[in-house]
């Protein structure tokens, strides 16, 4: 399911260059905005909560999953994947630096379960994480997704 969505809505971006965590979030979420998954204000919500409570979405070493609440402008469930050429620091001591940005949008906390299962399964594999972050073409990166 994830793979089809990434291809259909053009939601995957490989070896992107960003200067810091903020630009990483902005560019990752911009993929969702472009695909009409979220309104532009969704990104502002993520940035302002990050500044308020810290990087609450760095889920495991090297991987961040920025997201906010449905009422912050989510139009439908969706995920974008972005890998970074140069890793960035979010301020999560144990899990920094980050090279994979999974931008997540969900309309509620139930209907995104299948999507989340795929993410949980995929990112439980260090091999998959390594393959994804070292991929230099979208095709190779997409091979990681079932």
Partner 1 sequence: MLRLLCVCGNGMGTSTILKIKLKGICERMGVKVGVESCSAGEAGAFISSTDIVVTTPEWGKMIRLPQSVVMVTTVNLMDEKGLTTKLEEAIRTHFPKEIK
Q: Which residues bind partner 1 (CB under 8 A)?
A: 49, 53-54, 56-57, 59-61, 63, 65, 67-70, 92, 94-95, 104, 106, 109, 112-113, 116-117, 119-120, 123-124
* Min dist. Cβ of residue 42 to partner 1 (A): 12
Give catalytic status of residue 112 as yes or no. no
Residue 36 CA neighbour count, 13 Å, CB half: 1
d(CA 51, CA 25): 12
> Given the DSSP bridges, would you call strands 78-88 and 12-16 parallel, antiparallel or unpaired?
parallel
d(CA 50, CA 125): 27
Question: H helices within 72-125, ranges in order?
Answer: 113-122
Nearer to partner 1, 49 or 83 (CB): 49
Catalytic annotation, pick one of 9, 26, 55, 67: 67
* Min dist. Cβ of residue 57 to partner 1 (A): 6
As annotated, the active-site residues are 67
């Amino acid at each position: 399911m994830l793979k089809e969505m990434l291809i259909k809505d053009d939601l995957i971006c490989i070896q992107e260059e960003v200067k810091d965590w903020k630009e990483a979030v902005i560019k990752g979420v911009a993929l969702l905005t472009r695909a009409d998954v979220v309104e532009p204000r969704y990104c502002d919500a993520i940035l302002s909560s990050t500044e308020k409570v810290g990087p609450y979405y760095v889920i495991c070493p090297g991987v961040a999953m920025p997201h906010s609440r449905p009422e912050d402008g989510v139009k439908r469930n969706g995920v974008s994947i972005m890998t970074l050429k140069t890793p960035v620091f979010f301020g999560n001591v144990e899990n920094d630096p980050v090279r994979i940005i999974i931008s997540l949008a969900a309309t509620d906390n139930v209907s995104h379960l299948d999507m989340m299962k795929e993410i949980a399964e995929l990112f439980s594999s260090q091999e998959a994480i390594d393959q994804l972050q070292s991929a230099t073409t979208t095709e190779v990166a997409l091979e990681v997704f079932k």
